[in-house]
Structure 1
Amino acid sequence: MEADQGRQGGSSVDDESTATRRDAGTTESSRANRGWWDRNADDYQVEHGTFLGDDRFVWGPEGLDEVEAELLGPVEALAGKDVLEIGAGAAQCSRWLAAQGARPVALDLSHRQLQHAMRIDGGKVPLVEADAGALPFKDASFDLACSAYGALPFIADSVGVLREVRRVLRPGGRFVFSVTHPIRWAFPDEPGPEGLSVSGSYFDRTPYVEQDEEGRAVYVEHHRTVGDRVRDVVAGGFRLVDLVEPQWPAWNTQEWGGWSPLRGNLIPGTAIFVCERDADPAGGAGD
């Protein structure tokens, strides 16, 4: 799971950068976020590695586990499936999938995050360093695709990524991805009571950008409303099967950025979109 998960409130801005709201296109967003994750991967894994585990599949800070949720399908049906994990970070989810008998490929934009994947398992899971908007795979290469807070919050062209994922999926394939719940954009990114009062417009899609002294973006998050996400899924060629909003479980007492038991019991923090690629008419290969 690769995500800082909630920097749009500005509470964790790097010392050398300033937070603003401005446009940021595909190239600028990709360059900024690749650099940010390369610089911060070590701290991220130290801070969150215990919660994520080495071979656990969690969909977000609430701790919803795929072994129980089965959003990709029944666990026993994963064996032999080709699975692409997008925004894999240190490939914890892919490692869990491999343990179920699947054949995962872990893709990430950050070289340093993938080095952590190598550190954990010595390269047992295939790793690919690439941008989610230009997947380096042939059409219909995978049965399933997944992304736990990876790629989608950080890219300018959401539909473009969804179309790429559809292209590499086989007909009938499923893509499940989790992102910060869009409603969180309207609230300060704070785990305490101050994070429970609306401070901005839910409908303001202006990207959250951290930039250096020369105005160059060093981190970018893109906001979309729930309706935007649904329309993007459809425009990307998928059918939306389910929208999961995990409740905060009683066992989870941790705080993760703006995520906390206090907020999690009152407002949703994560949205998980379960999508399927329908078979093409007359058995065609599709786009």
Structure 2
Amino acid sequence: MTDDLMHADVAQIARRPAGAEESARASRVWWEREADDYQAEHGGFLGDTGFVWGPEGLDEAAAHLLGDPAELVGARVLEVGCGAGQCGRWLRARGVAEVVGIDVSARQLQHSLRIDDATGRALAVAQADAQRLPFADGSFDLVCSAYGAFPFVPDAPAALREAARVLRPGGRLVFSVTHPIRWCFPDDPTEGGLTARDSYFDRRAYVEEDARGRAVYVEHHHTIGDWVAAIVGAGLRLTGLVEPEWPEDNEQVWGGWSPLRGRILPGTAVFLSERNEGAAA
């Protein structure tokens, strides 16, 4: 990563293909630049030791999408795209002995260490790319991710195969992403974001480029069918799909999300799956 790319301004927005290396580099660039502002703006909503699945505010403490909390205590858990470690720290606070968080951004992990010091609850973290997890086969009982990494990878089947690889047979993968239907609409929290503009089937990446055409932000669109096929192709069994409704008491605006849009269009999709007992590592 070059210093000039770290400080480059966004000059144009494109819908085009973007490969694994370009996408990972862009994610590092964007999160290194934006981590401070992101944590300042959204840290209170996320909580230092909170597990929120998306901008609707669906809380794992109430949803139990990871399973019976009592059964998690003895599990070994990996959080992919952990950011400042809020979700992993929530698990640690509930007695889960072994939780590891990975993120592509060093600055996000610095915020995780800061919150460790403030809360007295430490989370083991490592800088790593979700497309190449630095763990042995079958290392974890549970892999989870709340908007972390998966929306930013071009090859969903490969990313889910990698997540499945580090799961033990019978282990679970639970992750949330931007709901695919949202790609049809402008990223606008007002009424302007309620009119479909783009094809649901246009899978080209959304890319913010600098003046030289270099990506400084990349997000990838995969349809519901794409995610289901990727889950099955990774040797996993889909056990649930949750589309959280926008609650009446959530009045915040977060980027393109707002109460206006959130009560009409789904903003988040949470996929629940488990690794087949007979699946090869």
For residues 15 and 213 of structure 1, the distance between their equivalents in structure 2, rounded to whole angstroms, comes to 8
For residues 206 and 139 of structure 2, the distance between their equivalents in structure 1, rounded to whole angstroms, comes to 34
The 5 Å alignment of 1:1-287 reads 16-102=10-96, 103-122=98-117, 124-280=122-278, 286-287=280-281
For structure 2, which runs of at least 5 residues remain unmatched after alignment?
Answer: 1-7
Matched to 2:104, the amino acid is L
TM-score by length of 2: 0.94
For residues 62 and 136 of structure 1, the distance between their equivalents in structure 2, rounded to whole angstroms, comes to 32
Aligned partner of residue 43 in structure 1, secondary structure: helix
**Cα deviation 1:132-158 (Å, max 9, x = unaligned):** 111111111111010000111101121
- 8 Å contact 1:162–1:237 — kept in the other structure? no
Alpha-carbon offset, residue 15 of structure 1? 5.1
- 8 Å contact 2:9–2:210 — kept in the other structure? no
TM-score by length of 1: 0.92
Matched to 2:18, the amino acid is A
Equivalences, count: 270
For residues 171 and 226 of structure 1, the distance between their equivalents in structure 2, rounded to whole angstroms, comes to 25
**Cα deviation 1:12-69 (Å, max 9, x = unaligned):** xx95331111111111111111111011100100010000010000000000000111
Percent identity, please. 60
Matched to 2:21, the amino acid is T
Matched to 1:232, the amino acid is A
For structure 1, which runs of at least 5 residues remain unmatched after alignment?
Answer: 1-13
4+ residue runs of structure 1 moved beyond 2 angstroms?
14-17
Structure 2 partner of 1:7? none
For residues 239 and 60 of structure 2, the distance between their equivalents in structure 1, rounded to whole angstroms, comes to 17
